[in-house]
């Protein structure tokens, strides 16, 4: 059977600050190398709802404040569709600003509250300019994908509510807030995380999980993906693992 996946990239023009394009590239290439056809849909400001609905997998990255404001206005108009897609198990990866945005709210340093989409039960607080940004190489552990390697850089501290699970446990770095050892959040097949790097090329198990889940949801059958040669991926993981004195 010939499989095909439609990858929806939310706001590639504005939400792409930390090499997020690499995640889109990783999904595309890892599909193509297995003969799975892909189509990339760029969902920029003012995109049509129909284009979002036809996506089998979603990606959204982080941005600078100004960009985030513009995106927020646009995405609120379409949040119902996004919410129902997430409920229907459409896999998605939401990084940094996008991750915060899926939560209930973001509290600025001056106390001002910016409403989130309320899809993930979590909130984020910015502790102000005197608190340090959480920056550096980071590793966290998830029981299905093992250790995930990347880089984090965020001022906001995120706290999870009762109705959501963390994506993983911090091994090195800060994670959601630098205090409770949780990193990211996951709900159905959607994942929010502070890890960029970008995350998917260097964490192929996780990338493949998103692909296989997207196929299973779309074709309603159990999928086992063909193995790929991940030697370089392993070497890149090993190099940073050595530096941080952790195993891969």
The nearer residue to another protein, 22 or 192, going by C-beta atoms, is: 22
Please pick, among 31, 55, 154, 196, the residue that the annotation labels catalytic. 196
Residue 154 catalytic? no
The nearer residue to another protein, 158 or 203, going by C-beta atoms, is: 203
Closest CA to 189 of 79, 59, 66, 74: 59
- Tell me if 86 sits within 8 A of 119, measured CB to CB: yes
Interacting residues with another protein (CB under 8 A): 13-14, 16-22, 25-26, 29, 45, 64-67, 69-70, 135-137, 151, 153, 196-198, 201-202, 232-233, 235-236, 238-239
Give the list of residues 6+ apart from residue 236 with CB closer than 8 angstroms, or none.
202
Please pick, among 31, 55, 96, 154, the residue that the annotation labels catalytic. 96
Q: How far is the CB of 235 from another protein (least distance, A)?
A: 4
Residue 24 has a CB neighbour count (10 Å cut-off) of: 22
H-assigned helices in 42-115: 49-53, 65-77, 79-87, 97-102
Q: How far is the CB of 223 from another protein (least distance, A)?
A: 22
Q: How far is the CB of 70 from another protein (least distance, A)?
A: 6
The nearer residue to another protein, 67 or 189, going by C-beta atoms, is: 67
Give the list of residues 6+ apart from residue 229 with CB closer than 8 angstroms, or none.
none
Q: How far is the CB of 31 from another protein (least distance, A)?
A: 12
* C-alpha to C-alpha distance for 187 and 96, rounded to whole angstroms: 16
Residue 196 catalytic? yes
Residues taking part in catalysis: 96, 196
């Amino acid at each position: 059977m010939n499989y095909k996946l439609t990858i929806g990239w939310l706001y590639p023009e504005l939400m792409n600050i930390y090499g997020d394009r690499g995640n889109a590239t990783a999904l595309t290439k890892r599909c193509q190398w297995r003969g799975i056809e892909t189509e990339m849909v760029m969902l920029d400001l003012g995109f049509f709802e129909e284009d979002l609905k036809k996506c089998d997998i979603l990606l959204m990255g982080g941005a600078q404040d100004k960009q985030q404001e513009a995106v927020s206005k646009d995405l609120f108009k379409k949040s119902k569709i996004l919410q129902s897609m997430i409920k229907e198990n459409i896999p998605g990866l939401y990084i940094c600003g996008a991750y915060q945005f899926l939560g209930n709210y973001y509290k600025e340093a001056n106390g001002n509250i910016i409403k989130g989409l309320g899809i993930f039960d979590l909130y984020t607080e910015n502790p102000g300019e005197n608190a340090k940004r959480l920056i550096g190489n980071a590793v966290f552990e998830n029981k299905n994908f093992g250790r995930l390697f990347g880089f984090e850089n965020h001022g906001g501290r995120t706290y999870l509510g009762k109705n959501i699970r963390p994506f993983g446990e911090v091994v090195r770095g800060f994670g959601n807030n630098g205090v409770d050892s949780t990193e990211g959040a996951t709900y159905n097949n959607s994942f929010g995380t502070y890890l960029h790097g970008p995350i998917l090329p260097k964490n192929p198990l996780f990338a493949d999980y998103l692909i296989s889940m997207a196929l299973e949801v779309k074709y309603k059958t159990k999928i086992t993906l063909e193995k790929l040669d991940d030697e370089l991926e392993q070497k890149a993981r090993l190099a940073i693992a050595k530096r941080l004195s952790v195993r891969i």
